Structure formats: C-alpha cells, structure tokens
Structure 1
Amino acid sequence: MAFTRATGKHRAPSRLSRHGARAVGVAALATTGVIGATASPALAADSDAPAVSTTGLTQAVTLDTTLAAQIEAQAEAQQHQADMAAKAAARAKAEAEAKRKAEARAAEVREEKARAARAAERARLDAFHLPVAGSYVTTGYRSGGSLWSSGSHSGVDFRAASGTPVVAVGAGTVVEAGWGGAYGNNIVLRMADGTYTQYGHLSSIGVSVGRSVASGEQIGLSGSTGNSTGPHLHFEARTSPEYGSDMDPVAYLRAHGVRV
C-alpha cells in the first residue's frame, strides 16, 4: 500500500531547504560587517558560505592604504617645496647681505681714496720747495761786505743761471711784484703761515699783486737785475713785508722740511 507525504504548513522542511536557510543567514551576517569567524563552527565550516573576499573588506583596506600613501606623498612633496623655498630665501638673504657688505666696502674704499687724495693735495699745498730746483746756497745769511748797504747779507743767494725758473717755496699771496731798487725785479709773498718770502734780481716776473700761488708754482725767472754781480737768485725769509725783518732763510726752509 502506498503512502504519500502530507503537505501544507505541517510539512517539515527538507534537508536542502535547511541548508539554503543557513547559507542565507551567513550571507546576511557578512553584509552587516560580522566576520565569519564569529559564527558557529558549523556555519564557518559550511562549504557553501561566501568567501571573505566577496564581502568588500579587502577592497576597502586597499583603498585606505592607497589614499594614505597618496596623502603622505603629497605631504612630503609640500614639505620638500617648503624646504626648498626656505633654502632659496636664506640664499637670497645671504646674497643680499653679501652685496650690501660689498657695496659698503666699495664705498669705504672710495672714501679712503678720496681722503688720501685730499691729504695728498693738502701735503702738496703745504709742502715747501727750494726756490730754484736742485740749486744750492752760494752766499750765506749774514755774510759781511761792502756789497750790502747794511753791511751784511739779509738773505741767501742760490746759484741760478739767467732765465732759470723760480718757484714759490710755499703757498701764498703776492703782495709785491715789480722793481725793488737794489733787489732789481723782485716778488714778495705772504705765506700761508703769516711769514713772508722775497725773490730778488729776477729777469722776468710772472705774477701780479693779489694773486694766490701754490707751493712750487713758477713765479718768475732768475737774472741779474738791481745790485747784482751776476745771475743768481737772492732769497729772503721775513716776519713782515718790510726790509729789516729778515730771518735765517736756510733755517726757515729746513723748518718746513726742505733739504738745503
């Protein structure tokens, strides 16, 4: 006699149906983020359970790692750019400072040269010279004889052929230029230090009263005019422009650094 299985709600689910239900449950757990290891051993061991790789976790981790690497690389690039910019700024600052120092030093050098030039010019103006270059004294100061009305020589005579250039021994101003009696053609200068110098027996006068002359500047030519026995330069140093205020010309020149 044949029997048939009852149908309806009292029908027990088949083994296949139960297996499918378990699979659905595992899949549901996986989609909610529950790792399969927390399921029961039976479920975890079920050969029909979905693999972890199918849950999307590995992909998410990979994306997170890639993003972190990109952020780190971007941060490193930005830091490198910042470092390079800082180095460039420091280099520019150092170059600007070096340029400033170089310009300051150049200005100092220029000023030093200018000071040296001014000092040299002052030295040139303040320097004294022999009235006749390379000459020497032939008749000394206070030499006696009938040649001089006072009985003695009020100056010194420098050897000089007629027409030899005569220069101002120092810087000064012309206070006399012309005929001077026994002195012949003569020039008297008021020196910068307030003393006076006289140049006598000239064959030619090259300056006029009131003119300023520099030290070593030519003022005339030597000769033998006036009370003279031959071409030479009569030179006097005085405390005033007047005759009789004379002082030792050799000592005067030596006091101003001239070798006589």
Structure 2
Amino acid sequence: MAFTRATGKHRRTSRTARTTRNIAGIATLAASGAVASVASPALALTDEARTHDTGLQQAVVLGDELADRLATQADAQQAAAAKEQVEAAAKKRAEEARRHAEAVRKKAKAEHEAKVRAAREAERKRLNAFVAPVTGSYVSTGYQASSSLWSSGSHTGIDFHAASGTSVHAVGAGTVVEAGWGGAYGNNIVIKMHDGTYTQYGHLSSIGVSVGQTVTPGQQIGLSGATGNATGPHLHFEARTTPDYGSDIDPIAYLRAHGVNV
C-alpha cells in the first residue's frame, strides 16, 4: 500500500513518539503471534531505531537509578528523623530523671535540716529545763524557818527529805564552781546555772563532780547524807544570786519559776 503525506496543519508525529509506538506495536504483535506472519523486511529496525531504542533503555535505567537515589535519600531522612526522635526522648527522660533526683535531694536535705532543728530545739529545751534535786521527795523544812540551829537565826534554804545515800541531781544545766567541804554545810556543791544564778546542795555523804565540770538537768552530782551541821540525813538546797553565803533567794519560788512543782 502506498502512503501519502497529509497536507494542511496536521504534521507528522515526532520520531520519539513514532518509535515508541513502533515498540509498543511490536510488543503487541509478538504477544498475539502475528509477528510470524509478517515479512521480515517489514520488521527490520533501522540503525536509527536501534539507536533510539538504546537511548530509551538508558533513560529508563537512569530513571531507575534516580528513583533508587531518591528512595535512599528518603530512607536516610526517615532514619535521621527517627534518630532525632529517639535522642529527644532520651534527653527528655534524662532531664526528668535529673529533676526527680534534684527534688529527692532537696526533700532529703529539708527533712535532715528539720530533724537537726528539732534535735537542737529538744536539746535547748532539755538544757533549759529544771527538775527537783531529789526525785519523789518533799520539803521537810521551809525557807527562812526560825531556829537556833542556824547561825543566822533563820533557814537560808529548804530541806528535802532524803535517806542517806539518796541520789541528788543538778536542778538545771550549769558549771560546778565549788565541790568540797563547806563548814556547817558539810560536803557541798555550788553550781553556776546557765541563767547566771547559783544553786547549792549541802550535807552530802559523797560528791560526784569536780570544779569546772558542766552538768545537765537531772544529772546525779552526789548522794545525800548528814555531814556538817545536821541532825539527820537530808538535802539542804539553796538558790543564790552569787556563789557566796548570804545571797540566798526563795528556793521554792525559784524552782516554781522554772517549772518545778514543789
């Protein structure tokens, strides 16, 4: 059959399009078995067609390579994003752990400081506390009682009932300024208290402290007795403004002012 070129504005398709259609047609014919009935000269590809076919194949290969590179880049980007997420999560957990540890440390420090303050306050209260010089006893002779037994004519302290050998305690915290024989007081102890006053303990059968020693409330300092000018075992207790005889103050009022029930 003879072909004539179309006239008018209709133009011949491009070489690439023609070649592409030829390849597609050949593929269709091969699939249907029609190639076998066509004369071989009609199927022969020109050098130009083979060259174009090779270029198309190269384009396909290059396209595949480009797609592979893009896919690889996409995978790398996804991996980097996943790594960033993992690192961000790890950093967040580390920061939360740090904050938790800091909170625990601050809480422990606050609790420790509170315990220290409580212990100091308890110690302060203990040191400022006062107790009776003889536990479970009572006053057998009052302050300023009159009698010829005393050189001043009146009692300069109070007497606590106590059998010989009864434990005698410091009524409060202080420092021993006298410990030994005190004439009419027999074996006696004088303590300078923390508030600047003085307390005296007389007629002791034994002395358990020495001058310069610090004592705490309720600490045993000696044992009661009947040494010195005494008609029987008891504890003579005085409160003074100085360590010397003659500076006595009412010992019952003194003890009650410090919370001791006598």
The answer, yes or no, to whether TM exceeds 0.5 is yes
Paired with 1:45 and 1:99, the residues of 2 have a C-alpha distance of 73
Paired with 2:95 and 2:212, the residues of 1 have a C-alpha distance of 60
Matched residue of 1:104: which SS?
Answer: helix
Counterpart selection for 1:29 from 1, 15, 25: 15
Q: What TM-score comes out, normalization by structure 2 length? A: 0.74
Q: How far 1:211 sits from its partner (Å)?
A: 2.8
Output the aligned Cα RMSD: 3.4
Q: How far 1:75 sits from its partner (Å)?
A: 1.2
Q: Residue 210 in 1 paired to residue 196 in 2?
A: no
Q: How far 1:249 sits from its partner (Å)?
A: 0.9
The CA deviation string for residues 112-146 of structure 1, in whole angstroms up to 9 with x for no partner, is: 32232233223322222211122222222222333
Partner of 1:111: 113
Q: How far 1:163 sits from its partner (Å)?
A: 0.3
The CA deviation string for residues 36-80 of structure 1, in whole angstroms up to 9 with x for no partner, is: 4999xxx99987698x99833555555544443332232112101
Give the partner amino acid of 2:186.
G
Paired with 1:60 and 1:214, the residues of 2 have a C-alpha distance of 99
Give the partner amino acid of 1:181.
G
Matched residue of 1:194: which SS?
Answer: coil
**1:80-91 maps to which residues of 2 (within 5 A)?**
80-91=82-93
Partner of 1:75: 77
Taking a change above 3 Å as real, the CA distance of residues 61 and 232 of structure 1, as seen in their structure-2 partners, is same
Partner of 2:97: 95
Paired with 2:86 and 2:129, the residues of 1 have a C-alpha distance of 63
Taking a change above 3 Å as real, the CA distance of residues 228 and 62 of structure 1, as seen in their structure-2 partners, is same
Q: Residue 132 in 1 paired to residue 134 in 2?
A: yes
Paired with 2:168 and 2:239, the residues of 1 have a C-alpha distance of 15
Q: What TM-score comes out, normalization by structure 1 length? A: 0.75
Taking a change above 3 Å as real, the CA distance of residues 60 and 151 of structure 1, as seen in their structure-2 partners, is same
Q: Work out the number of aligned pairs and report it.
A: 230
Give the partner amino acid of 2:84.
A
Partner of 1:178: 180
Matched residue of 1:145: which SS?
Answer: coil
Matched residue of 1:131: which SS?
Answer: coil
Taking a change above 3 Å as real, the CA distance of residues 53 and 247 of structure 1, as seen in their structure-2 partners, is farther
Paired with 1:155 and 1:115, the residues of 2 have a C-alpha distance of 38
Deviates more, 1:132-141 or 1:76-85: 132-141
The CA deviation string for residues 150-208 of structure 1, in whole angstroms up to 9 with x for no partner, is: 33221111121110111111222222222222222111112122111110111111223
Give the partner amino acid of 1:216.
G
